[in-house]
Structure 1
Amino acid sequence: MLNRLLAAAAAVCISVGAQAQSYTPRPVEDLLAQDVTYDSAIPKPEDVTGFASGQIISTPEMLHSYARAVAAASDRVSIEVIGRSHFGRPILRVTSTSPANQTRLEEIREAHMAFSDPGRTAEVTEETPVIVQMTHGVHGTEASGYDSSAPLLYFLAAAQGEEIEALLETTVINQIILINPDGASRFAHDVNIHNAEAPVADPQHREHTGSWPWGRTNHYWFDLNRQWLPVTQPEAAALVDATHHWMPNVAADLHEMGSNSTFFISPGPVDGLHPLLSQAGLELNLEMNELLDEQFSAEGALYVAEERFDDFYLGYGSSYPGLLGGVPYLFEQSSVRGIIQDTERGTLRYDDKIGQQARTAIALIRASHARRQDLLNHQQAFFRESLRLAGENATSAYVFTSHDEGRLAAFLDLLAHHRIDVFELDRAVTASGVRYQPGQSYVVPLAQANYRVIEGLFETRVIEDKTAFYDVSGWTQPLAYDLDYAALRPGAFGQDAIGDQVTARITANEPPANSSIAYVIDWSEFYAPRAVYRLLDAGLHLRVIPDEIELQTEAGNVSMARGSILVPVAGQVLEADAIHELVSQGAREDGAVIHAASSSATASGSDLGGFSLSNVERPNVLLVTGESVNSGDAGELWHLLDHHMHMPVVMIDAENLSDSDLSGYTHILLPDGRYDPLGESFAETLSGWVEDGGVLVATRGGARFAAEQEIAAVKTVDTASRPEDEAPSGPQAYATIDDWDVEHTISGALFEGVIDTTHPLGYGYRDATLPVHKIGTTAFATGEDPFATPLRYASGDPILSGYASQRNRDALAGLGAVHATRRGEGSVILFADDPYFRAYMLGSSKMVLNAIFFGNDFRGSARGEGQ
């Protein structure tokens, strides 16, 4: 015990000593540590912002002000706005090159695009510039990644001498400042409010821990470094569009990692490279690293490469540019998460971190310049090879369609961001049992320059070998969007099937005719809930039709699927003309398919005044937030309801829920998180609220908590757990522990789900199969109620794309992915997975909306109130 006390006392002394040290940021020239002189006409960061680099965490506005001041003072620098964040903050592209190049930037860009066009021949001359892109601030909490943009820009604008002038003559450097301004603004606020004359290095200090939801993510709490492929966020759209606009030869992302780490540079594990990425590009990466090694060695700095951060997921900044013939780079350096912090490697200083990021970026620019001809030749060869690979592929094109105009339009928008040519299908094609009709279907030929991007989006790759993944292993986008799609072989596809090229689809529908009886809304359209919420918010009474009906209209009978929404005209708070205007707005703005009934009687199915119809109540949704909650999962639910459906969402932190008045909320959303520390009172609060008529919708960790606390009568199954009767295989060599982990976990794959389309949670789905994103090994056991699992993993082998061990695939087959049960007057609806993962699982996201609009419209197998 005495030894422990002495050790603790020593640790305190060390900590106090570290806290008491003074901190004055070093001048920018010292941070850069370059053997050059600087033009005194170019302002330094402190001349514009009032703070030296490393003195505080710079806000986006400060960095933008500095970039504009440098551009005004230097003929080497120009600026344009390439997009805006969710919150409306600008995202800048700051371009540095020689003054002569600045006068002909568009000419240079146009000439450079020839290197990515396999139909053109581009000659590499001594004057041909190489294009380098630096993306600052993907993660708002990784501040040196964006604060280093200022000293790097200062160097590019102010450094003098033959070396820098020669470099700028044949190099164009595009700095993206900064791609996540909303997250960076949150983090800067969290740190800067603790700014102290005597800085505190203790890692437990509030300055270093921040506050939920922290600043890593964007306004809706999305990780933008996973967004290059799905492009569901405006910041990602700006970045992907900007990358295609210039097609950089080298594209670097500047990040931070744990405080006890060193400095990581790409590549990750060489055997973890996605097969669509280029081995030639990997070799260039390794060769350029020799020059970066010289930089680290000269500083006496430790670094690491070829470990941990694999480049298999194609939605990273360290992978996606490789699909465009560039060499992607990831920088990850140890993070201060403040101004100074004690770590295993000593006390970190923020100005040091800024300086090292900037110096490494300069080294990469020099390495790019040194390998300029190789990089340009590689890009040209890359796209020629892409066409060759497309020609050798057994698939010649992909065809796709959907009855849902909203999901179809979103998918076409995704392809447009990736510069993929899409054409209307000009003649009917049958593939995989589906008839694709012209006027409703689209075709994507593989013989395109961006062939590898197409494959990265469309291909299904089931991985059988045991493989560890840093991120998800399966993400096939047509499956995520729940589209009908198929690969076409050359014999089933020819030029006669290609119609006009398209880039977008208009989702607006014709308003319905006037009706004095009722309007009926097709629930299957993605934005139908937005139209329905607008009507409910206006005070209208709506009903849901639980069966298929043949609606009578003046234009003839119309077949309507289960879950169609009835809007009666009589007995409402609005007059008939106002109701017609609201439903017409839903057709025009939301793409809702709405029909005007000519009779209350139907040709088949429930009449519009039938007994089986039930009320649709206006949802008043509470989203549980706070320290115990996974901010990413919470942000997805907020984004789905607020951004897409224009529904207000109340947020209350979990620790405050027991003291809150919950009586006015119809739904509580419990995202993934760790709720056990909140105690029994938290579970009792939720249970009582459900019994009084509320609908609890819980996902992943929230669902496990609800099951374990018996808020729902269901047992969870963890397929990673060894069954009791399974004999241990004996002691294992420790070197095989990674293989053991891979066998027992699922990092993220696409599974086939089987959905009950007759259940209220299945309303709006046209067929019984639904792709789901599976992460983790939790599922729901099938209990006594045979109607409680409206979505199950398919029997047999449920995997569609990605990696899951055969052990897990076999164990999950047939288990519940969604469990729905009644409790008292309310309901508990549990999702084993994340139904709106990264905002691209548009297919399964409808089940969340069904839970919100129809959450109390089912019963259990036993009759009676509350069953």
Structure 2
Amino acid sequence: MFKVKSALLGFASLLAVATLAPVNAQTVAQTNIQKSDSYDMWPGATYDSAIPTHAQVLGYAVGERITNHGDMLSFFEALERAAPDRIKVFEYARSWEGRKLIYVAIGTPDRIAHLDDFAVNMQKLSDPRQTNEKAAKQIINDLPVSVWLEHGVHGNEISSTDAAMMTAYHLLAAPNEPTNKKILANTLVFIDPLQNPDGRTRFTSRYYASVGLEHSGDRLSAEQNEPWPNGRSNHYLFDMNRDWLAITQPETAGRIKVLNHFKPTVVIDLHEMGGDESYFFSPAAEPINPFMNKAQIENTGLIGKNIGKNFDAFGFDYFTREVFDAFYPGYGDSWPTFYGASASTYEVASSRGEVYRTKTGKMLQYKDTVKRHFVASIATAEGAADNREKILHDFYRYQEDAIISGKNDKNERVFILPNTRDKAATHRLATLMAQHGAEVKQAEKDFKACGVSYQAGAYFIDTAQPRGKFVKTTFTQQVDMSAAFLKEQERLRARNLSDQIYDITGWSLPLMFNVDTDSCGKEIDVDSLNVKADSPLVGSVTNPQAKVAYLVPWGDMAAGRFLSAALRAGLSIKSADQAFVLEKKTSFPAGTLVIETKANGADLAAVVQKLAQQSGAQVVGVDSSWVTDGPSFGSEHTAHMLAPKIALAWDEPVSSLSAGSTRFVIERQFNYPVTAIRSDRLARSDLSAYQVLILPAGNYADALGSSGISNIKEWIKKGGVLLTLGSATRFAADADLLAVQRELAYKDEKATKESDKKESKVAGQLFKDKTALVKASIDAKESPDYVAGVLANVEVDQEHWLTAGVNPNLVAMVSGNDIYTPIKLSSGKNLAWFADAKNVLASGYLWQENKQQLAYKPFLIHQPMGRGMIVAFTQEPTSRAYLDGLNVLLMNSIFRAAAHAEPLR
């Protein structure tokens, strides 16, 4: 392999050498940095030559290049071949693009040989109902503390994967180094070296494709500016560090299954931040989730202090507590705390390539970022080893505390899911909680709880269980930040300073799934089944040999999946715009699907049976079409459904997260194909082949221009359905496609009128106090205050075909600061709007002014245009793909809207 040993190698020499041997994308460019086969990561360590180095396996030293996914696998496979008794490599998932995800276990030969026994003991330690204190102490006496190191969940945060490789090599090749000796004596180390192989592959391939003669650290360079979409996200463009609640991605599902199996007691998620920063580790910033234990926070502090000691010895700068809070339970560093782990996030300044010039002029080298993560990892394992007994005891105490807390809760000991309204969403939530590791039961008989009667089939979750605190933080409607923290945020806001709220403040899963949930302060005693993550939703067909039609009541995702599958199978389907009643007094909701036997093939009964089983839908066969109330099957109010071709705007200026989650929801939850079209093509292309065009969040003004806006407008007028999400609705409003406007912040008093003309002098003012100064400093035309993310209550118009089958009350995610005027009746209709100021907040923390201004403002707008229409969501209904409660409304906005458009056939 061709290597540059000196920065003095001239261009002519480079060309001469290059003609002698082929080079790959990673070896084309060389930096001004001296290359070598070794890099002194841990001074004084002596390494066993029997363990292969980076250079021996990959042809370059650790930190010299950004290792790709395939080379990472090769390195760990080489380590396992060299020391099979001390390291084991396991596959735990495959990415959407088919790449292998692995974790490795490193320890003494005896511990590696008995990994299953370790897992069994951790399961015993995690359940005080089965393991009393005496038995727990015996287990702890012989049990190692376990450290789980997570790397590369964001594919363009590159250094942690190479640090993971160095950590494994160091532990295996220098077992007698004093720190390693202590670690191996007391600790079992697990390494997940790359959580997002698809994103990293996207980054590395593009990065090395952009490099020239030498690497550039200039922040303006192509190397430092990734094209859309960047490598942060996975194949479906998810930020997978936010996927730990909904578990929508296979990478997350595989990881959670392994963590639930081994229950490692210290979990670290290694990230990168801006290149001008230093290094962050625990303790975390405020706010702290109230369902975390004090001991967990203490343990991360002890480990953090040990990292600080090591960083001082190396001369590394660092900081703690100032950012990266521990409030939201859906991160890789917070989710494990709710089975009892002590978990933290680490962040290193990123070189975003092989070299980066900081604001101070210093050249930050890739190997420097790798080294910091490596040192932090070894220091973490050492800190865990030093506190082995305490961490294990605290883990056991966490389980005890969770059970006791559940038993003592006289109001919300048990959460009950009646399972009478939306069976599909209720089933999805119940199985999701089982996937998280919670104990979920389904009643086999009718029962009473706290004086309320429930039917057989209801689910319930008792919080007096080891995962009770996770159930509490995800099912409790409101999880409060500390009063002191909120007081400080209001103080900052009063001074027009940025608040410190890092992420969403409301995440109640029953609210996001729009699932009915009750609570009871007493234990429930009824015959029940244990719900598993893979428990199926059972569909059924009543009267399977129906003579006239099969009806699928609309209103849940089982019916939605039935519709998409039936359309793809080529069935002829209708959908009622209004509720109706058949002659035998049987009622069916608006949106109900009608599959007539005479309009379909002779094998319809078998097809319907198969689709019901696959979707979980409840299908009713009928032998008569006589309707006594509501629209008949042949009414103009019973629309013919079609299989629409859906186009989705892709590439700049689309928000990649919005595009990815929207495509995922439609393709993987609705099971319906989408065609991604690059945004600039929308300006000049013939869109007549598509019935629906979706604009995810993004500012399309420059990408489309006036010609693009005209092209889309003409397509709509000819029968197209334009669906805008979040900030794409802002674009539609600003471009005069949609007849609404964004609002400025409401002021209680009339703001001083600001002149557009700049004057050298203005009239004098008298300020009597600082309040007057602050008031005079405020921009009279400012937008509402920015909201990090809350859950808000939405009311839904029940008398429009677009909301057929949709519950009258929904919950949406609100973030940002866009608030819209209602559309006038002469132009369209407001079909869903936010609740009144007193009730608009469903969960989270919302500024009082925003509550007042958001009240009764539109969430869903319908605007006819020619033979087509615009359907606009003022907030994103697909955010992180965990707003399952909005899926039926989104399906209507695609499939029912396409059925009601009137293109020329």
TM-score by length of 1: 0.90
* Counterpart among 157, 162, 167 of residue 142 in structure 1: 157
Pairing 1:669-708 to 2, within 5 Å after superposition: 669-678=694-703, 679-708=705-734
Looking at structure 2, the residues matched to 699 and 61 of structure 1 have their Cα atoms a distance apart, in angstroms, of 37
- Aligned-pair distance for 1:853? 0.7
Instruction: Give me the CA root mean square deviation.
Output: 2.7
* Counterpart among 487, 506, 517 of residue 519 in structure 2: 487
Q: Which residue pairs with 2:613 in the alignment?
A: 588
* Counterpart among 105, 109, 117 of residue 119 in structure 2: 109
Q: Which residue pairs with 2:277 in the alignment?
A: 261
Looking at structure 1, the residues matched to 784 and 408 of structure 2 have their Cα atoms a distance apart, in angstroms, of 34
Looking at structure 2, the residues matched to 352 and 60 of structure 1 have their Cα atoms a distance apart, in angstroms, of 21
Indicate how the Cα distance of structure 1 residues 489 and 297 shifts in structure 2: closer, same or farther if over 3 A, else same.
same
Pairing 1:764-783 to 2, within 5 Å after superposition: 764-765=805-806, 767-783=807-823
Q: Any stretches of 5+ residues in structure 1 without a counterpart?
A: 1-18
Asked whether the equivalents of residues 182 and 385 of structure 2 are also in contact (C-alpha less than 8 Å), the reply is no
Instruction: Give 3-state SS (helix, strand or coil) of 2:146's partner.
Output: strand
Looking at structure 2, the residues matched to 308 and 420 of structure 1 have their Cα atoms a distance apart, in angstroms, of 30
* Counterpart among 554, 566, 576 of residue 535 in structure 1: 566
Q: Does 1:550 align with 2:581?
A: yes
Looking at structure 1, the residues matched to 293 and 784 of structure 2 have their Cα atoms a distance apart, in angstroms, of 28
Q: Any stretches of 5+ residues in structure 2 without a counterpart?
A: 1-28, 490-499, 753-769
- Aligned-pair distance for 1:833? 1.1
Looking at structure 1, the residues matched to 306 and 111 of structure 2 have their Cα atoms a distance apart, in angstroms, of 26
Pairing 1:256-335 to 2, within 5 Å after superposition: 256-269=272-285, 271-335=286-350
* Counterpart among 559, 563, 578 of residue 591 in structure 2: 563
Q: Kindly provide the amino acid, as one letter, of the partner of residue 76 in structure 2.
A: A
- Aligned-pair distance for 1:101? 1.5
Pairing 1:5-404 to 2, within 5 Å after superposition: 22-30=32-40, 32-74=41-83, 75-119=85-129, 120=131, 121=133, 122-123=136-137, 127-161=142-176, 163=178, 164-269=180-285, 271-345=286-360, 346-394=362-410, 395-402=412-419, 403-404=421-422
- Aligned-pair distance for 1:807? 1.6
* Counterpart among 463, 488, 505 of residue 473 in structure 1: 505
Indicate how the Cα distance of structure 1 residues 639 and 266 shifts in structure 2: closer, same or farther if over 3 A, else same.
same
Looking at structure 1, the residues matched to 903 and 381 of structure 2 have their Cα atoms a distance apart, in angstroms, of 70
Indicate how the Cα distance of structure 1 residues 329 and 105 shifts in structure 2: closer, same or farther if over 3 A, else same.
same
Pairing 1:588-627 to 2, within 5 Å after superposition: 588-627=613-652
Asked whether the equivalents of residues 712 and 823 of structure 1 are also in contact (C-alpha less than 8 Å), the reply is no
Looking at structure 2, the residues matched to 469 and 742 of structure 1 have their Cα atoms a distance apart, in angstroms, of 18
Looking at structure 1, the residues matched to 575 and 38 of structure 2 have their Cα atoms a distance apart, in angstroms, of 65
Looking at structure 2, the residues matched to 676 and 353 of structure 1 have their Cα atoms a distance apart, in angstroms, of 39
Indicate how the Cα distance of structure 1 residues 527 and 295 shifts in structure 2: closer, same or farther if over 3 A, else same.
same
Pairing 1:490-505 to 2, within 5 Å after superposition: 490=522, 494-497=523-526, 499-503=528-532, 505=535
Looking at structure 1, the residues matched to 784 and 701 of structure 2 have their Cα atoms a distance apart, in angstroms, of 27
Asked whether the equivalents of residues 423 and 498 of structure 1 are also in contact (C-alpha less than 8 Å), the reply is no
Q: Does 1:750 align with 2:766?
A: no
Asked whether the equivalents of residues 717 and 778 of structure 1 are also in contact (C-alpha less than 8 Å), the reply is yes
Instruction: Give 3-state SS (helix, strand or coil) of 2:428's partner.
Output: helix
- Aligned-pair distance for 1:90? 2.1
Instruction: Give 3-state SS (helix, strand or coil) of 2:137's partner.
Output: coil
Q: Kindly provide the amino acid, as one letter, of the partner of residue 602 in structure 2.
A: A
Asked whether the equivalents of residues 644 and 898 of structure 2 are also in contact (C-alpha less than 8 Å), the reply is no
Q: Does 1:759 align with 2:816?
A: no
Instruction: Give 3-state SS (helix, strand or coil) of 1:529's partner.
Output: helix
Looking at structure 2, the residues matched to 427 and 540 of structure 1 have their Cα atoms a distance apart, in angstroms, of 38
Question: How many pairs align?
Answer: 826
Asked whether the equivalents of residues 104 and 192 of structure 2 are also in contact (C-alpha less than 8 Å), the reply is yes
- Aligned-pair distance for 1:81? 1.4
Indicate how the Cα distance of structure 1 residues 809 and 60 shifts in structure 2: closer, same or farther if over 3 A, else same.
same
Q: Which residue pairs with 2:602 in the alignment?
A: 576
Q: Kindly provide the amino acid, as one letter, of the partner of residue 98 in structure 2.
A: G
Indicate how the Cα distance of structure 1 residues 472 and 519 shifts in structure 2: closer, same or farther if over 3 A, else same.
same
- Aligned-pair distance for 1:113? 3.1
Indicate how the Cα distance of structure 1 residues 49 and 408 shifts in structure 2: closer, same or farther if over 3 A, else same.
farther
* Counterpart among 795, 820, 833 of residue 862 in structure 2: 820
Q: Which residue pairs with 2:15 in the alignment?
A: none
- Aligned-pair distance for 1:668? 0.7
Q: Does 1:848 align with 2:890?
A: yes
Indicate how the Cα distance of structure 1 residues 865 and 644 shifts in structure 2: closer, same or farther if over 3 A, else same.
closer
* Counterpart among 429, 432, 449 of residue 411 in structure 1: 429
TM-score by length of 2: 0.87
Indicate how the Cα distance of structure 1 residues 523 and 52 shifts in structure 2: closer, same or farther if over 3 A, else same.
farther
Asked whether the equivalents of residues 292 and 338 of structure 2 are also in contact (C-alpha less than 8 Å), the reply is yes
Looking at structure 2, the residues matched to 48 and 722 of structure 1 have their Cα atoms a distance apart, in angstroms, of 66
Looking at structure 2, the residues matched to 26 and 508 of structure 1 have their Cα atoms a distance apart, in angstroms, of 61
- Aligned-pair distance for 1:498? 5.7
Q: Kindly provide the amino acid, as one letter, of the partner of residue 152 in structure 2.
A: G
Instruction: Give 3-state SS (helix, strand or coil) of 2:773's partner.
Output: coil
Looking at structure 2, the residues matched to 821 and 856 of structure 1 have their Cα atoms a distance apart, in angstroms, of 14
Instruction: Give 3-state SS (helix, strand or coil) of 1:797's partner.
Output: coil
- Aligned-pair distance for 1:267? 2.5
Asked whether the equivalents of residues 743 and 783 of structure 2 are also in contact (C-alpha less than 8 Å), the reply is no
Looking at structure 1, the residues matched to 97 and 454 of structure 2 have their Cα atoms a distance apart, in angstroms, of 41
Q: Does 1:714 align with 2:744?
A: no
